[in-house]
Structure 1
Amino acid sequence: MKSTPKLIVFHPSLYKQSSSTSPSHRLWLFTFVTLFTFTFFLTLFKNTSPPPPPPPTTEYHPSDAVSSALLHYASISNTSDKMTSAELNAIATSLHRCSPPCNFLIFGLTHETLLWRALNHGGRTVFLDENEYKISKFEQNFTDFEGYDVQYTTKVGKSAELIDYARVHRKDECRPVQNLLFSDCKLAINDLPNHLYEISWDVILIDGPRGYSAKMPGRMAAIFTAAVMGRSHGGETKSGKRKSTEVFVHDYGREVERVFSEEFLCKENLVEVKDSLAHFVVKETNKGDNFDFCIGKSSSNSS
């Protein structure tokens, strides 16, 4: 039997349906490709961008020390025994003149202790105090703090006897140029670590020990010791001139500080007085046969 050919006819509705969905598929495909491309390039950008900088390392800077010192000083600014602005500026100016940074010796631990360390950053700052406990606390709390306790044997009530004694023995144990380490003078501080006697001190500040009553050690020994240090270990500057030591005496208005400063640091060496702070400049001398601290004062003087 012969088969009859069949004719396949596509219904118009089928064609229309196919035609109408095609743009939708293309739109979906375009959206997918766009999102994929955006995600790809975003990932690539993140992977190729430079890494974030490392966190800054903690580095000690002089300004940090100054800031902490000033903050500490401000925290106790309501105390009555702190130095005035004029007194602080006088000492800071002397430290600023030192080049390279100073050898700075301070008698007494005070409210300005941290400030002195900060202002003399890079130099050598040494503290001497009668209170061993206070020295220990500063050593525990602040790195590179250098301090030594001093056992004073003097009393403010005996100051007149001590100045008479020094005048009588000015040609032997209390002479102005000597090695204090081996001194037998009652006013000499001779129990410090040996290396401190070999240092040429640029600036010496006397703000201790206590001296506001007769039973306290007073600053007689500190003033005498500073006077000898300035004359004995000044050395020479680059120009060949004899080096000098700047000595500051705080509470200069009190009788003991004034009398002993005039006796051993001398009026002719007095540069200025700012409030209660006296500023002396003591020149080094190599004259071993010179037994007078001051001009016009001989060893025969009595009080």
Structure 2
Amino acid sequence: MRTKAHIPTFNYKLLLLGVFLAFVVLFVFRSSFDSSSSSSSSSSSNEKSTILPKVPLDEKEAEDDERSTKCDTPLTCNKIPPSLAKALIHYTTSTITPQQTLKEISVTSKVLDKKSPCNFLVFGLGHDSLMWSSLNHGGRTIFVEEDESWIEQIQRRFPMLESYHVTYDSKVNQADNLMDVGKGPECTAVGDPRYSMCQLALKGLPSEVYDIKWDLIMVDAPTGYHDEAPGRMSAIYTAGMMARNKEEGETDVFVHDVNRVVEDNFSKAFLCEGYMKKQQGRLRHFNIPSHRDGSHRPFCPE
């Protein structure tokens, strides 16, 4: 009885399974056909096809950040970007603190809060670099550094930071002579620093540094605490010239360690006391307007 009763049930189930499999095959075939037709139609409507480039390993985090900030759902809108999460973890667990004080950092942070995402150039690569890049989230932050081995060390830890090596020909013990040179007409003429005749202008920076119109520039390098060190004379001068040479708008320039003679004198002379907005501790903030907007401004305001 059980065997005879089981046979029709088995056949019935087999029949259902066959119908289901046929439906699946038909569905897959139709989906493939529709996808092929859609692809063919899309190709014919575009004269040129676009091949997406491979994303370099150090750009993957930026891509993740972009995806995490898209507001597809309330959850993705409220999710912290991976780069900011890494910065929080790093500074929470690190025993090394940035060289600038909280009050000094707050001066630049307030400007970034208004202008970011923006273009931010930093002379110097240090323990605070991840912080500056994170505070300018969504913008472009570039670091230029004199020590190649230090760049390699930082890049291994934070590959998302964009940094370049730069060399300096000057020395701190040449500062007095360079101050006199900077007063000449070749140094007060506004133009692209890479083509300048002024001895103070940095001409060997990466092309990106010259081509980008900077919203903020921080001068916290190169080394300047002994006579044989490169000093920040050229960095300060070049930062001021980049700001003046911008086609329009203003550039916020920050100089750290103004308690030292070179940083004090050169920031006043080439960024101009008349453009100084604030000094907090060892940090000075200057706001320099474009000198190419037809206003015929003097090198420093009277």
Cross-structure match for 1:35: none
RMSD over aligned CA atoms reads 2.4
**Do the aligned partners of residues 130 and 290 (structure 1) sit closer, same or farther apart at CA in structure 2, a change above 3 Å counting?**
farther
Q: Deviations over 1:19-66 (max 9, x none)?
A: xxxxxxxxxxxxxxxxxxxxxxxxxxxxxxxxxxxxxxx954554323
Q: Counterpart of 2:137 in structure 1: which amino acid? A: H
Cross-structure match for 2:241: 228
Q: Which has the higher contact order (CA 8 A, sep 6+)?
A: 1
Q: How does 1:245-284 map to 2 (within 5 A)?
A: 245-284=251-290
The one of 158, 163, 173 aligned to 1:142: 158
**Do the aligned partners of residues 190 and 121 (structure 1) sit closer, same or farther apart at CA in structure 2, a change above 3 Å counting?**
same
The one of 115, 126, 129 aligned to 1:113: 129
Tell me the distance in 1 between the aligned counterparts of 2:295 and 2:175. Answer: 27
Q: 2:191 matched to 1:182?
A: no
Q: Counterpart of 1:130 in structure 2: which amino acid? A: E
SS of corresponding position for 1:140: helix
Tell me the distance in 2 between the aligned counterparts of 1:144 and 1:69. Answer: 11
Aligned residues: 227
Tell me the distance in 2 between the aligned counterparts of 1:248 and 1:102. Answer: 15
Structure exhibiting the larger radius of gyration computed from Cα positions: 1
TM-superposed CA distance for 1:108, in Å, is 0.6
Stretches of structure 1 lacking an aligned partner (at least 5 in a row): 1-57, 237-242, 297-303
SS of corresponding position for 2:202: coil
Cross-structure match for 1:69: 87
SS of corresponding position for 1:271: strand
TM-superposed CA distance for 1:162, in Å, is 0.5
Tell me the distance in 1 between the aligned counterparts of 2:203 and 2:251. Answer: 19
Tell me the distance in 2 between the aligned counterparts of 1:78 and 1:111. Answer: 7
Q: 1:265–1:293: 8 Å Cα contact kept in structure 2? A: no
Cross-structure match for 2:119: 103
Tell me the distance in 2 between the aligned counterparts of 1:188 and 1:200. Answer: 17
Cross-structure match for 1:90: 107
Stretches of structure 2 lacking an aligned partner (at least 5 in a row): 1-62, 69-79
SS of corresponding position for 2:287: strand
**Do the aligned partners of residues 75 and 220 (structure 1) sit closer, same or farther apart at CA in structure 2, a change above 3 Å counting?**
farther
Q: 2:207 matched to 1:207?
A: no
Cross-structure match for 1:122: 138
SS of corresponding position for 1:266: helix
| TM-score (normalizing by structure 1) | 0.69
Tell me the distance in 1 between the aligned counterparts of 2:295 and 2:109. Answer: 35
Higher helix share: 2
Tell me the distance in 1 between the aligned counterparts of 2:107 and 2:279. Answer: 9
Q: Deviations over 1:193-212 (max 9, x none)?
A: 22321211000011111111
**Do the aligned partners of residues 176 and 125 (structure 1) sit closer, same or farther apart at CA in structure 2, a change above 3 Å counting?**
farther
Tell me the distance in 1 between the aligned counterparts of 2:294 and 2:226. Answer: 36
TM-superposed CA distance for 1:140, in Å, is 3.5
Q: Deviations over 1:80-132 (max 9, x none)?
A: x6211111111111111115x11000001121011011111110000011011
Q: Deviations over 1:180-204 (max 9, x none)?
A: 1222322111111223212110000
Q: Counterpart of 2:133 in structure 1: which amino acid? A: R
Q: Counterpart of 1:221 in structure 2: which amino acid? A: S
TM-superposed CA distance for 1:69, in Å, is 2.0
TM-superposed CA distance for 1:164, in Å, is 0.6
Tell me the distance in 1 between the aligned counterparts of 2:189 and 2:288. Answer: 11
TM-superposed CA distance for 1:151, in Å, is 0.7
| TM-score (normalizing by structure 2) | 0.69
The one of 172, 176, 181 aligned to 1:160: 176
Tell me the distance in 1 between the aligned counterparts of 2:149 and 2:189. Answer: 32
